[in-house]
Each structure stands twice: as structure tokens, then as C-alpha cells.
Amino acid sequence: MAEANRPLGITLTAGVDEAGRGPLAGPVVVAAVMLPASHGLTCLDDSKRLSPRQREDLFIPIQESSLAWHIESVGLDEIEQYNILGATLRGMQRCVMALDPQPGLALIDGNRLPAALPCPARALVGGDGLEPCISAASILAKVHRDRLMIQLHEHFPDYGFDRHKGYPTAAHIECLERFGPCAAHRRGFAPVKRLLKPD
């Protein structure tokens, strides 16, 4: 994997990524990871290019190999208040601030940077396939969110959250239209909003 150019003197770099911006239900989950240079982890990649089993197999080793890591779940209230991008960036900010030790540089997957980070930062489009620390964050966020959606399935079994994880698949849209939105759905997202009963 190619590595982004780093300013001289910066040794602790945090990778930051999210999972779950596109779904119609559930939280968006953000993770930040700082890896040592000799982390020894193999198969790190964008979590979307790994199988569920590969991601699960890496979840604990990433945490054990990290200098620091943090996972932040951003709930529906914050998504509705700040929109999905704003809520994601706020979660990213909290993730970086929670790391101990603090990084000298944060590499953020995507093209937007959170405000008021405690260190310099760089946005990196496609970073989850380029930087090991972002790949690791991507995997932590994805696994954690998938587990949360399986828990939501236990509370709302009609919607199939354990299968599609809240993404707008044909099966999910069909369930949404049949049963109407549940408490786990994002009220501001168009496919959900149009099915809400007027107050």
C-alpha cells in the first residue's frame, strides 16, 4: 500500500474512517486507529473489499496491535440534527480526541475534514485502500456497526437488519413499505421520510 506523504517529524499517525453513511437505519460508526510501523497485520484493506469473516478475524488483532484506537457510534438524534455528513465529521472529531496518546497527524478517509481537531489532518480519498491505519479504522467501524445492526434485528425482526444492515436494498425497501418505519430508521432520509405518517 502506498503511504501518504507525511510532514517531517510526525511519527504518530491516526487513520480515521466510518461505516454506515448510506443506510436508511441505524447509527453511523466511526473509528480511529494508530498503528506502529511494525504492526505485523496482513490483509489490511478497505473493509468493503474483505469478507465478513476476514473483517471479524482482524477485529481483535487490530486492537491488540494498535498504539491506540477508539470507536464512536453516532446515533439517530445527532444524524437528524446535523445531517449524516455533519454527524459523521463530529464522530470523527471525537474519535481523534479520544486517542491516547494523541496523534501528530490524522489521515481522514474522504474529502472532508472534521473541525477543531487536536492535530494537523489530511483528507485522503480512497484512503481505506491506501493507508494501513485507515484500513484498520475502516474494519473496526464496519465490524462494530454490523454487530449493532444484528442487535437491532433482535428488536425489530421484521426488517432484516441482520442481512442488509440497514442499506437500501430491494428487500429492505419492501419491508419498509410493508411495515412502515421503525424507531431505528433515519427520519430525514427520503425513502423513510415519504412513508412517515403526518403528525
The model's pLDDT over 137-193, given as tens digits with 9 standing for 90+, comes to 999 999 999 999 999 999 999 999 999 999 999 999 999 999 999 999 999 999 999
Are 145 and 48 within 8 A, CB to CB?
Answer: no
Q: What is the CATH number of domain 13-193?
A: 3.30.420.10
Instruction: Examine the pLDDT at 5 and tell me if it is beyond 70.
Output: no
Instruction: Examine the pLDDT at 87 and tell me if it is beyond 90.
Output: yes
How confident is residue 3, by pLDDT bands cut at 50, 70 and 90?
very low
Are 109 and 95 within 8 A, CB to CB?
Answer: no
Instruction: Examine the pLDDT at 199 and tell me if it is beyond 80.
Output: no
CA distance 178 to 114: 38
Domain residue extents for the chain: 13-193
Q: In what order do the strands lie in the sheet with 13-19?
A: 68-74, 28-34, 13-19, 105-109, 121-124
Say what the pLDDT of residue 10 is.
56
Instruction: Examine the pLDDT at 7 and tell me if it is beyond 90.
Output: no
Q: What is the DSSP string of 7-30?
A: -TT---EEEEEEE-SS-SBS-EEE
Distance of CA 185 to the CA centre of its chain: 17
Mean pLDDT to the nearest integer, 103-128: 96
Residue 152 CB partners (closer than 8 Å, separation 6+): 25, 26, 161, 166, 184
Mean pLDDT to the nearest integer, 83-97: 98
Least confident of 38-47, 121-130, 157-166: 38-47
Instruction: Examine the pLDDT at 11 and tell me if it is beyond 80.
Output: no
Q: What is the mean pLDDT of the chain?
A: 92
